[in-house]
Amino acid sequence: MSDCITTFSKVRFTPLNPKKEDILVDDIAHALSLMTRANGHFPEFYSVAQHSIFCCEEALVRGYSNRVALACLLHDASEAYMADIIRPVKKHLSEYLEIEEKLQTFIYRNFLGEDLSDEELKLVSFIDNAMLYNEFIHYMDEELNIDKVELLSSPDFKFTNFKEVEDKFKELFYKLVDNI
């Protein structure tokens, strides 16, 4: 059995031993635009890429650095290569968490040049959880047992064409990567 996947861009990608040249924003944007949040349990399709875009926009509205905003855009990028597992299960899978963290750190280094500081990681996590909380209010009318945070941005939680989401993701990426 092979240790690699073939990405949208036809790259033979090995998640456990990634190469810098194999991490492509086109693959990340495409895959995340087709992956659902909440494991598909929201009443309509809402993608991981939309979530990531909204996290990025929230970071920018809050005045966070372009580096943190780019990290917010990319915070789920490892999912483009190894999918995701719901939080209640993931927390019990230590080996999966190690692999995910290693790949995500590799992706950050690839696009940000160096590791995120602890403070930057906290800001990304804050934004991710704030968006998660508000997504569940919108889609499920459910308050999660995490800190309630009012968003400063105005995400449009609605179905958006996959290609439009993919293009928006890449547009934000290139705008930010050129300005960090």
Tokens 């929201």 sit at which residue? 42
Q: Do the domain assignments include residue 43?
A: yes
Q: Do the domain assignments include residue 103?
A: yes
Mean pLDDT for the chain overall: 96
Rounded to 5°, angle at Cα 174 from 125 and 16: 60
H or E element at residue 80: helix 79-82
- Are 116 and 108 contacting, i.e. CB atoms less than 8 angstroms apart? yes
Q: Do the domain assignments include residue 3?
A: no
Tell me the pLDDT tens digit for each residue of 106-118: 999 999 999 999 9
Give the domain CATH number at 35.
Answer: 1.10.3210.10
Q: Do the domain assignments include residue 8?
A: no
Q: Residue 88: which domain range? A: 20-177
Q: Do the domain assignments include residue 81?
A: yes
Rounded Cα gap, residues 166 and 27, in angstroms: 10
Tell whether the model's pLDDT for residue 1 goes beyond 60.
Answer: no
Domains held by the chain: number: 1
Written as one letter, the residue type at 150 is E
Tell me the pLDDT tens digit for each residue of 5-42: 999 999 999 999 999 999 999 999 999 999 999 999 99
Q: Do the domain assignments include residue 5?
A: no
